[in-house]
């Protein structure tokens, strides 16, 4: 049976690029987004759901596991709202936390329940360089991803005995829908704070995910790896 992975947020951007990448490598891929599928491939199965919907997430993870097993979970889905703290609403704050924290938590919980029964697995969470850079205008986004990084570390401890390894990747800005709403000069200022001064590409991200879900990273868990030369 081919290796099986679940990627959240596969309708566009990095999530779609990762789904295409792993389908091309022969993986069985299940993806989800609020919208309909944008990928057509015999080894791809799409679920239209809200990642914070506990019932829908539970059903999806269990269905995927029953059909193909589950070797890797990629928590990629995320939303951002660039705005000054004083102009941010509680509604937007809740929405960001639901999608960026509750969603990954639900997927980790349900995936780990099944991975432990089948001898282990890999979980990769997507965070952002906005956390170590403490970016102005991204307070809620950054706070939600900081929570996800903490979740990564605690999950690594709790799931380590089950041979489930949990790590995070923090890409620097990659031209996707998520960064399209950021003004050009803001993006340039952000890139200027990186040690490697250019925008990221999906090709920069693939090798890191490849490594974190491969047997070669069997002794690595609870880590957050930022791209582009960004560090605390």
Partner 1 sequence: MQDTINQLIYTSLADLAEDFDIPGLENPDPETRLYGQKSVLDSMALVALVADLEGRVREAFGKDVILADERAMSRRLTPFARVGTLADYIEERLKEES
Judge whether 141 counts as a catalytic residue: yes
- The first and second tokens of residue 177, run together, are 């829908």
Rule CB under 8 A: is residue 117 a binding residue for partner 1?
yes
How are the residues of the chain apportioned to helix, strand and coil, as percentages rounded to the nearest 5? 50, 15, 35
Neighbours of 119 (CB within 10 A): 9
Note whether 61 and 6 are within 8 A (CB): yes
**Least Cβ distance, residue 113 to partner 1 (angstroms):** 4
Among 12, 113, 153, 193, contact with partner 1 (rule: CB under 8 A)? 113
Note whether 107 and 57 are within 8 A (CB): yes
Rule CB under 8 A: is residue 196 a binding residue for partner 1?
no
- Compare residues 55 and 184 and give the one whose CB is closer to partner 1: 55
By CB under 8 A, what part of segment 136-195 binds partner 1?
Answer: 161
Q: How many residues of this chain interact with partner 1, rule: CB under 8 A?
A: 12
Active-site residue (options: 22, 44, 47, 141): 141
**Least Cβ distance, residue 232 to partner 1 (angstroms):** 32
**Least Cβ distance, residue 206 to partner 1 (angstroms):** 31
**Least Cβ distance, residue 214 to partner 1 (angstroms):** 25
By CB under 8 A, what part of segment 38-97 binds partner 1?
Answer: 54-55, 58-59, 62, 66
Note whether 57 and 103 are within 8 A (CB): yes
For residues 2 to 41, the per-residue mask of contacts with partner 1, x marking binding by CB under 8 A and - elsewhere, is ----------------------------------------
How far apart, in whole angstroms, are the C-alpha atoms of residue 40 and residue 56? 22
- Compare residues 114 and 225 and give the one whose CB is closer to partner 1: 114
H-assigned helices in 40-102: 54-68, 90-97
DSSP 159: H
How far apart, in whole angstroms, are the C-alpha atoms of residue 104 and residue 76? 8
Using CB atoms within 10 A of its CB, is residue 214 exposed (0-12), middle (13-18) or buried (19+)? Answer: exposed
- Compare residues 117 and 198 and give the one whose CB is closer to partner 1: 117
- Compare residues 58 and 223 and give the one whose CB is closer to partner 1: 58
CA neighbours within 13 Å on the CB side: how many for 217?
A: 23
Note whether 181 and 137 are within 8 A (CB): no
- Compare residues 58 and 88 and give the one whose CB is closer to partner 1: 58
User: Which residues are annotated as catalytic?
Assistant: 141
The contact set with partner 1 (CB under 8 A) reads 54-55, 58-59, 62, 66, 112-114, 116-117, 161
């Amino acid at each position: 049976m081919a290796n099986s992975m679940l990627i959240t947020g596969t309708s566009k951007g990095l999530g779609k690029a990762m789904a295409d990448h792993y389908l091309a490598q022969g993986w069985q891929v299940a993806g989800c987004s609020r919208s309909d599928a944008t990928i057509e491939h015999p080894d791809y199965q799409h679920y239209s759901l809200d990642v914070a919907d506990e019932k829908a997430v539970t059903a999806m993870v269990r269905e995927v596991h029953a059909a193909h097993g589950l070797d890797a979970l990629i928590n990629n889905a995320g939303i951002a709202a660039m705005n000054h703290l004083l102009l941010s609403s509680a509604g937007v704050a809740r929405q960001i936390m639901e999608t960026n924290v509750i969603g990954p938590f639900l997927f980790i919980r349900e995936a780990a329940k099944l991975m432990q029964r089948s001898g282990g697995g890999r979980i990769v969470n997507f965070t952002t360089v906005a956390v170590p850079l403490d970016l102005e205008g991204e307070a809620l986004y950054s706070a939600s991803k900081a929570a996800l990084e903490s979740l990564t570390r605690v999950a690594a401890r709790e799931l380590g005995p089950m041979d489930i390894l949990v790590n995070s990747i923090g890409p620097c800005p990659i031209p996707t829908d998520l960064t399209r709403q950021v003004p050009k000069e803001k993006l340039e200022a952000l890139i200027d704070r990186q040690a490697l001064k250019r925008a990221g590409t999906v090709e920069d991200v693939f090798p890191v995910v490849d490594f974190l879900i491969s047997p070669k990273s069997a002794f690595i868990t609870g880590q957050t790896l930022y791209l582009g030369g960004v560090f605390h």
